[in-house]
Amino acid sequence: LAPYVRRRCRRVLYWVPGVFISLLLGRSHYAYAVQLRIVSMENVGEQVVCLTAYHLLFAMFVWSYWKTIFTSPMNPSREFHLSYAEKELLEREPRGEAHQEVLRRAAKDLPIYTRTVSGAIRYCDRCQLLKPDRCHHCSVCDKCILRMDHHCPWVNNCVGFSNYKFFLLFLAYSLLYCLFIAATDLQYFIKFWTNGLPDTQAKFHIMFLFFAAAMFSVSLSSLFGYHCWLVSKNKSTLEAFRSPVFRHGTDKNGFSLGFSKNMRQVFGDEKKYWLLPIFSSLGDGCSFPTCLVNQDPEQASTPAGLNSTSKNPENHQFPAKPLRESQSHLLTDSQSWTESSTNPGKGKAGMSNPALTMENET
């Protein structure tokens, strides 16, 4: 009974940051929409304009936050799970080359390009599966998450392939929300210090709004700017701290396709969906185009471990496995990529619903 109670208590505690944000959001709505705009503002036209813009940002903020919280992280599809016979074979084999040989045979036909630091196949003992590229095991969720970025306590959820776009929009709209409140509340904040406001309850709400909005604007702007940089480089937070390792060696920009294609991987091909918390990311989260030649000016022209002859795709052993159909069209107009096993006529935009490949949570 004790372990069960501890688990239930932890689950309740995990929701504390989310409840705090929800209460703060509710308080800010009352302070701005009622106390500031209706009670303190006398110009009706200004009231209508400010309240309309405010509620538009408020709705987008809440929508993207809700989607980030309640979109379940995607787990690797069943093809990455070992069969019963392979699991038995792994248990019999000692750790070492024999163990790796079993994993290599299991990964032979899978689109897996990354390795561990020692060059071994990435395998999760806890989930008993071969890790797809950019997949990591979350100790809080206790499962492997596709294209895991990080586990965010403020949303009580893992940020990964299925909800990374929602998380970015949540940061963007929350920053705009705070900046809008701070900008429109500034004149009343100045009047507060110059004794230009009547001595009513609204004075305290004006102080609360300005200080809270200004404080959160500073922290959100740095966090949002950092994730914009990650998107531009096609990196996750985990990959920014520890570069992915490929068969040819470590390459910090191994997944970068260039700014435009990096943006499309997260936001999709159809620009009309970019600003909406609607899933439009390309791909299935299990397979990603992988760079052969590094174009980053901060780094050498070829990844570590490659000689000059490896720029010719015919002499390069990587990538050797086919990409998924939803990713192949990203490579059709790039000279630094190869499609050795992919049919170019099958390129599609990744507009599929992540729930189709999502496993039920236990």
Spatial distance between the Cα atoms of 166 and 173, rounded to a whole number of angstroms:
10
| Coil, helix or strand at residue 198 | coil
- Strand pairing of 143-145 and 136-138? antiparallel
- The answer to whether the CB of 38 falls within 8 A of the CB of 54 is no
Task: Report phi then psi at 149, rounded to 5.
Answer: -95, -55
Can you give 261-330 as a three-state secondary structure string?
HHHHHHHCCCHHHCCCCCCCCCCCCCCCCCCCCCCCCCCCCCCCCCCHHHHCCCCCCCCCCCCCHHHHHH
How many CB atoms within 10 Å of residue 263? 17
Q: Tell me the residue ranges of DSSP E strands in the chain.
A: 114-115, 123-124, 129-130, 136-138, 143-145, 150-152, 157-159, 245-246, 249-250
Per the residue annotation, which of 50, 152, 178, 291 is the catalytic one? Answer: 152
Spatial distance between the Cα atoms of 277 and 167, rounded to a whole number of angstroms:
9
Spatial distance between the Cα atoms of 322 and 142, rounded to a whole number of angstroms:
29
Residue 152: active-site member:
yes
| Coil, helix or strand at residue 101 | helix
Catalytically active residues, by annotation: 152
